[in-house]
Amino acid sequence: MSDSTAGAAVSEASLPADVAVRFREAAKIYDNGVQALAALDLDIRRGEFVSLLGPSGCGKSTALRLIAGLSRPSSGTVQVAGRPVAAGGRAIGFVFQEPTLMPWASVLDNVRLPLRLARMARADADSRARDALARVGLADFADVYPRELSGGMKMRVSLARALVTDPDILLMDEPFAALDEITRFRLNNDLMALWRSLRKTVVFVTHSVFESVYLSQRVVVMTPRPGRVSAEFRVVAPEPRLEAFRTSASYAAQCREVSAALARASGEGTT
C-alpha cells in the first residue's frame, strides 16, 4: 500500500475544543508490507505532555510522522487541531533523534531556517531566532558553528529551531537518547521548564521508562509492531516538577508500574 494513501477524511470541526490530536482506528502499512500501526486510538489534549513508550519498531515514530503530516494513515483517521500555516498544514515543531544541523551555517542561521523558508523579513526572523536561542540557554552562541558545540548544545539548537515558529504542537522523537546521563537529566529539566512556560502540546517518543515518568503528564504504552495502545498512565507528581521528584518513592513506584505494563505489552513473562 502506497505511503500516499490517505485514510478517511474527518473535519477538524468535529474535534472537541480541548483535543489537539485524535487517532481513530489509525493504521499504517508501508510500501514494503511492514505494518507499523494497527487500529491506534488515542486522544492528546491541548497543552498536555504525553510520552509514547514502547519497544523499537512499535510505530512510535510513525505516529509522530502522521501527526506532522509527513505520512498518511493507510486506514482510519488522524485529526490535528491548531492554527493553519501558509503551506496548508498545522503549526507543528519537530525535534528529530539527530540534530540535523547545517554544518556550514551558524547557530543563528540554523534556527532561522524555518522563518527564511516562510519568507519572513530578515530583521523579524533574526529577532525571533535570537529569542528562541535565549529560551534554550544559547543566547551567547548565535554566531558559532555546529562543530564547536557539544551534543547537548546541538540538541538545544534543534529545539530552538522547532520553537522558532511558535508551534501549537511540539513533536520530539527520542531527542536525548544519544546523550550522556548528566546531559540528558539537565535537558529533561530544561524541557520541563520550557513546557511550563509555553504550555505547548508535547508528544515525546522514548524507550526510557524513567524519562517518560519524569517528563510526562501521561505515559502511553504501546505494543510491539503493529503498534497500538496497550495501557495509559496518569503521572502523579508535584508541580513544578523538580529534581527531587526523580529520587522520590512516588517516582520509583510509578516507574515500576509503567515498567510492568511495558513488559506485559511486550509479552515478557508470558507463555
For the chain, 271 residues long, give each residue's pLDDT as a single digit of tens: 345 444 443 445 478 889 999 999 999 999 999 999 999 999 999 999 999 999 888 999 999 999 998 999 999 999 998 655 444 455 899 999 999 999 999 999 999 999 999 899 999 999 999 999 999 999 999 999 999 999 999 999 999 999 999 999 999 999 999 899 999 999 999 999 999 999 999 999 999 999 999 999 999 999 999 999 999 999 999 988 888 999 999 999 999 999 999 999 988 654 3
Residues 7, 159 contacting (CB under 8 angstroms): no
195 domain-assigned: no
Q: What's the angle, vertex CA 124, arms to CA 121 and CA 130, rounded to 5?
A: 135
Report the distance separating Cα 38 and Cα 25, nearest Å.
7
pLDDT at 239: 87
Query: Do the domain assignments include residue 159?
Result: yes
In a domain? residue 235: no
Within-domain flag for 40: no
Q: In the prediction, which pLDDT does 156 show?
A: 97
Nearest to 141 by CA among 128, 154, 151: 154
CA 34 to chain centroid: 23
pLDDT value, residue 90: 59
Q: What is the DSSP letter of 267?
A: T
- How many domains does the structure of the chain reveal? 1
How much is the pLDDT for 13?
A: 44
The answer to the question of residue 123 being in a domain is yes
Is residue 215, in this structure, part of any structural domain at all? Answer: no
Tell me which H or E stretch contains 207: none
Residues 20 and 39: their CA atoms lie apart, in Å, by 19
The residue range of the domain holding 130 is: 103-166
52 is a domain residue: no
Q: Tell me the HSE value of 253 on the side-chain side, using a 13 A CA sphere.
A: 7
- Whether residue 184 is contained in a domain is answered as no
Residue 170 · residue 200 · CB < 8 Å: yes
